[in-house]
Amino acid sequence: MRLTSTMLSLALALACAGTGVAAGTESNHIITVNARVSNRQIALNQPVRIEFTTMPRQVESVDIAKSVANGLLVNSTWRLLGRPTVVEHDKTKTVTVAVNLLPRTTGNLVLPQIQVSWLQGDQAAEFGQVAVTSGVIVGGETKDLPKETTGVAGYAWGSRLVDVKTTRIPDNLIEYLPDRAIARPQPGLELVFRGGELSDAVIAAPGLDIDQARESFFSRWGLPQIEEANAVTWILGWTRITASASGGDVPGVKLTIVREDILARLNQSQVKDSVFSVLDGPSAAPPAEESEEQARDRRKREADEFLKQQQNAKTVPDELKKK
């Protein structure tokens, strides 16, 4: 049944009252009457759209779209695609929020909770689970995940530079920069090592333009998730693939392949080392275990100190005077 705006406002009020969620009260979760999930079973390259409606805002200062986006940034199983859309309806003042999410991995994934920060109290919206199959949708068919989700040109993501140089890549083919090392094991291929790990790669295809390669790219990775004027991007779990014009006098296509999980981990480590470690200060060393000799000396010092205190007070017990 389709709800009119008046019916929707009333239904929301009844739902909140029935679940103990009311204006000005605190609750762990909020249940909305028309939360919708576009699909409960998807492939790794398919987005999920979530849409839900809440009571009218109770906190005027909250930027709803920014609050929702920031809350989804720290999720490790879903990636926000684009910016959340927010509609505050003129008549009912209810708030409708829609987000598009991409899975980071496969399996039965719980959709992220979304904190309803524009309402009073500790409230959140929940949306259940989505089954993510191990494959990509291409032209209506499910195909196996492409090899670039695990590595590129035979090099696994996360490979250590120290393990591949000299044995697989001669040192003279590696350029060392302050923040990364770039290996060029073959013409047109650059392997980028950050923090000593293979995190991204660049493939150059001169003489080819995006329009020529578009059909082939679509048949391998499915429909792109992001299309811009001069670039097309596919996101397959933690792997981001961007095809763009190479620029310069010679036309060509440049493929940039990035493992977002490795970059995120390296960024977190850098923030921890350069910021949080300064805030926390040096960690206290654990107390050393006392040896038997040290314990005996400590007890003697304590006894001597006690005797000294008693003598100063002229209240030395008789049993201590006899010693």
pLDDT at residue 308 in the model:
78
pLDDT per position as a tens digit, 252-300: 899 999 999 999 998 888 888 778 777 878 776 667 777 888 878 877 7
Percent residues over pLDDT 90 in the chain:
58
- Least confident among 27-31, 46-50, 182-186, 221-225: 27-31
> End-to-end distance of the chain based on CA atoms, in angstroms?
97
- Domains for the chain: give ranges and CATH numbers: 5-134 (2.60.120), 147-266 (no CATH)
